[in-house]
Structure formats: C-alpha cells, structure tokens
Structure 1
Amino acid sequence: MAFPPLVDPAPRLSDTELRRTARHRVLAGLGDSGQRRLAAAHVGIVGVGGLGSPVILALAAAGVGTITVIDDDDVEHANLQRQVIHRIDDVGSPKVESAVRAVAALSPETRVVVRRERLDAGNAARLLDGCHLVIDGTDTFETRTVVAAACADRGLPLVWGVIQEFHAQVTVFWSAPPGGAPGIDLADLYPPGSAGELPTCAEVGVLGSLCMTVGGMLATEAIKLVTGIGEPLFGRLVVVDGLSGSQREVPLRPARGPRVTAPAGHGAASPAAGTAAEPAAPEVDLEGLRSAQRAGAIVVDVREPHETADGTLPGSVLVPLADLLARPEQIEAERVVVVCARGIRAHRAADALRSRGVDATVLAGGLAEWAG
C-alpha cells in the first residue's frame, strides 16, 4: 500500500549537502524533492544497539535532518560484535555519544537530539515529541509494547523490527494511516501475553551481520515513508531467515474485535476499523485434545523454537506461528488442535486453518493452563 509523503520538503539544501546527496537526487521518484523531505524529517530511534546502530548510520548518510536517539545504556565489549556504531574506545561511554560522533562524521548538517533515558510510559510523550516517525530498535518486549502504545496514541508510524539468533521480522505499524485504511499495531501481531518469556541475546546470541541487513531494511522503510516512494511494509510482515538466505511475507491485518487496553500512561486503543466479528475457533480442554488425537486429529504447536525446546505434547507437529500464517496449506490434516503458550497465538493459527476448511480447535488457556 502506497502512502503520500509524510514530510513537506525543506526549502533548499546547502551546496555541500547537494554534493553529498547527489546519488540520491538522481533516483527516479525520490529526486531533489525527496531529498529535501529527508532534510526536513525528524526520526526518533529508540535503542542504539544492534538494530539502532545501522539505522542511525543509514539515516544520517541519507540526509535526515533531525534524529532523536533514546538509550540509557553504556557501551560494553560484548556490544561491538553487532552494534557497529560503537568503537573500542567507546567502551564505558554512553551509547548515545557514539551516535553523536558517527553522525557528525557522516552528515554534519544532521542534528542529533540526545535522550540518555530509558523510554517508559511516563516519559514517552516527551521523548518522542516532534518526531514524524519512530523506529524501534529495543531489545525487550516490555519496552517494545510501550513504544508501540506511545506511537499508536499519537498516530505516528512505527517502523518495527526484531532479531534473534539467525532470524528477524520487519514491518510497519500505524494506528492512523492516511486514506482511511484501518490501523495496524503491535497487538495485531503479538496480542498481549502471547510473546511469552523471550530469551535475551546473551542467552541465545545474534548474528552480527544480520543486524546490519535488518537495520538497513528499517532505514529503507523510514525513507519510503518520509518521501512517499514505493510501498512501505504496512500490512505485511517480512520474515528473514539468515541461515537459508530467504525472506518471505506474511499478511498482517487488524485483529478482530476491540483492542486490548494500552499499558499504563496511555489511552486505550480504538477498535479495529473495518473488521467484522467472526466466530472464534472452538476450544477444548486437555482431555478434549487427547480425545481428538485418538480420533485422528493432529496437534499443531505454534510456539517458537526456544519455547518448544523445553518440551512439547507427545505427537505434536511443530510449526511456529509466522511459518503457519505464511503457508497454512502445509497443514494437510482435516482435523487439528492448535496449541501455544496461552492460547492467543493458537487462535490466530486456527483462524487461518479454518479459512481453508480445516476443522481447527484450540487448547483453552494454552499449555500454561495445563502445565500441572
């Protein structure tokens, strides 16, 4: 879906900036007007880590006029394998200082607004004030939820990416896109409570080079939104597999029914526009699941690999939710019981299967409900 430019163009570029951005200004569709839009843009970047680092470098090189960087951490030796904006000499210094140094060396006319704070529900409005769009490069789901709620409340487009081990996801959330399109936000991809306890990079690792790939994708989405070129990843989730060198898209649309109340400090999000209520997939208890198995149904576990590593139900077929949504036809059974940690992801998977004529039910409450 294409959108009009997010930012009006600046009146003019300096002679130095005209020379520096010459290869942008000859791009068909971007041109001088698009470059001046970049110069007038104010982008907020939350997190100067594995994703935020390449994003800052790319947007500064692109000529974005103002970049607000938000991060309260200091540089550690273990950051340097993937957080390419930092140097050995920066260890022990605030991460935001690396951003100031790097931007000044790349694009002296770009203004960097430094916020050495951890974004939370209480300060999000102040920290994001004046931004035309936000890029989330944080590393905890709690902070991601706050960032998403803050952007949804203000109608700001949120360029969103997550990376772990060899895998990544990239999309654009926007609660109030132009043209009357229904808004899509983080809760449509990960309903509250569905993400589970995610391992940290320190526990499972992350491929450093993939951070640059995904950071480049995030920066490109921001450039497209600012200038109005191309089609941003709104309504589409790109799933990246670094090991196979593959990317695939999963359609992303507003969830049915009312949205869940935003975290404290933010107003409740409005019901998803343009979505009609549909019958939810039936639920079964654990005995109902076993009975269905005895009658020939298969159990499809849509949790992520780090979750299923701790154990699964006997006979389960393991298909992470994004994989199932991308190719629901891979489940060839006529009758299926879908399970996840708490039942929320399982309902999304069951809906996709039922739309293909599969008799899909959901384990009520998820595996957490029946852990005993």
Structure 2
Amino acid sequence: MIVTILVFLVILSILVLIHEAGHFFVARFFNIKVEEFGFGIPPRAFGKKIGETLYSINWLPIGGFVKLYGEDEAGAGKVSLSSSKPKPAPKDESRAFYSRPVWQRFAVVFAGVFMNFVLAVAIVSVLFSIVGVSVPAKHVLVREVLNDSPAEKAGIIAGDIIENINGDEIESPQEVISLTKKHLGEEITLRIQNQGKERIIKITPRKVYPKNQGPLGVGIEPNFETKKYPIWEAPFVGTREVLNQTGLILQGLSNTLVQIFTQGKIPSDVAGPVGIAQITGKIVSIGPSAVLSFMALLSLNLAIINVLPIPALDGGRLLFIVIEGVTRKKVSPRAESMAHTIGMAFLLGLIALITIHDIFRALSGQPILPQLK
C-alpha cells in the first residue's frame, strides 16, 4: 500500500511539474516575470529565491503552480490568467502577463498542455524503442491443447505456431477452422514452429467432438510478435500511437458526459483519484514498463482534459484569450472571474461524485475497472 501511494504521488507530481514547467519556460522565453515556481500545495515548507523567482516546496506533495507577475493569484496545479489588472510598478509594467500580446499569453497557457502531450509521446517512444510493442504477426498461435484431443495425441502443445495446413499458408484462426472442417476424418499435414524450430505433424480432424470444442481440440488466437523500433523511427510511431489514443480518449470522454447528463450515472470504466490510486497498485505489480505506459496515458489524459474549453481549466482560459483576439476587446474581468468560479465548482463537484463512486465500488468489492479483475 505504501509503495502504491508513493508511486502514485511520484507520477502525479512529475505530470504536474512537467505541465507547470511548460508555463514557466515559455513565460521566461517571452521575458514575463515569474514570481514563484512551487512544488506541492501551500503552505510553504521551504523556499529559495534564485534571481527574481522564488522556488518553493510546499507541504502537500501533490500538484504545483507557477505564479506569473501581473495575473490573478495562481492556484495549485494551474496558471490563473484573468484579465483583471493588478497595479505593478511602472518599471515592471512591460513584464506583466496581462500586458503581453494575445498570442504570447495563448502560448504561455497552451505550453502546459503541450508539455503533457510531449511527455506522453516521449515515454511511448522510449518504450517502443527499448521494450518494443506487440504487433500482428503471420500465422496462428496455439493458446491451449485440450485433454484427449487429436491435437494432444499428435503432440501439439501450447505455444506452437501453425504456419500452414496441407501446404496452404495460414494467416488467421478462421482459416484453421475452415480448412480443418473441410477435411473432417481425413489426415492433414500441419507445419508447426516453436521457438525457431519447425516440425511436421500429421493429424486427423475428428468428425464428432464435444460441445465448445473443435475438430482438432485446440484453442487458437492471432499470433503477435514484439517489434522494437529504431530510436530515429520510434518518435514518429510514438506520436502516431498517442494521436490514436487521443481520439479514443475523446470518444470515451464524450460518451461519459452523455451518460452522466442523460442517464444520471457514471460509466463503469471511469475512475477518479481514488480509483486511479488503486489502479496504480495493480500496474506496479506488473512491472516498470507498465508503470511507464500508465504514466504516458495519464499525461495524455491530463493534456486532453486541461485543454477542454471549461472555465477554470487551461482550455477555458484559452477560450477567453481567443475571444479577446477575435473581438479585439478584453472580456470583463468580473465576468471571467465568475465563469472560472462556476467552472471550478462544476469540476470539484464532478470529481467528488466520481470519488464517491470509486469508494462505493471499493467497499463493495467491485473492481475499479472491469478489465482489471
């Protein structure tokens, strides 16, 4: 349990710090004054001023924040970009966030989301290069061999790969089923491969067989192989994979919102902070590569959710900046502040609802996600 909590906190902290680093470095690039870069949620435990920026470590080790000069007070894990104008000293007026052009403010806010996306691509690319990824391969894999079946008697074992039948190359389980049913009661020849060693097996598919079994008495499935991509190719493949996952996440998010608002229920495959922490425990037990994959998925989810045009999120702040850019007129500070307050209340309410749902599932012994049984 302690290991799970520590891993969860480390993953969350890395994701948020990467996000905030995006805001920080782009702000510095545009010479916007950064007053504080904090790790964790205040109250402050330790702080050291380097140059004009205070770098702080706070007591609650979740999240982080960047406080820019000339903005509303920053909250944990976000940059607050209200249009209201504090009164900076005249000498620093040009370095205030609010005084910068629309495109620069847009870049500062969007940088956090972009960094989470880049982190996801980087992790996936490293995994594709070092660990590899399962890709469909030729032929068919024998998953299991049933007792007292023709396959067992012929010497077929789990892990064998069926390459061809009677000289016909096999590409899918359906081809095995089709060919064996064409030759019921007739001897056929299978070319089998296992760990690089090939052998020829003669077998006669039975005409009569038990229910839920086939003529050969084997369980078969598509064959997969582990493919490692060269380091120069992995980023392109990783980006494509992350973009594919982005589409799936958006589709899932859309379905989730529809179910919540039309049916009044939370889908079984949705988890909040409590659920994610429990999932982390199961992921940790699988191994380091699974933890990294999970981290990449969380980083991508954080990027997607944060860019949604909901007030209080980066996407909501981007929306107000875009409105200003299109209309050439700043949104009323009071209206923007109210929108962010309402957006935050909505998000906190949704998180609380999902968290309660997670707790009830845990207390009733149900898995947080059905696929993690």
Fold shared by both chains (TM-score > 0.5) = no
TM-score range, shorter chain: under 0.3
Q: Larger Rg: 1 or 2?
A: 2
User: Whose helix fraction is larger, Structure 1's or Structure 2's?
Assistant: 2
TM-score by length of 2: 0.21
TM-score by length of 1: 0.21
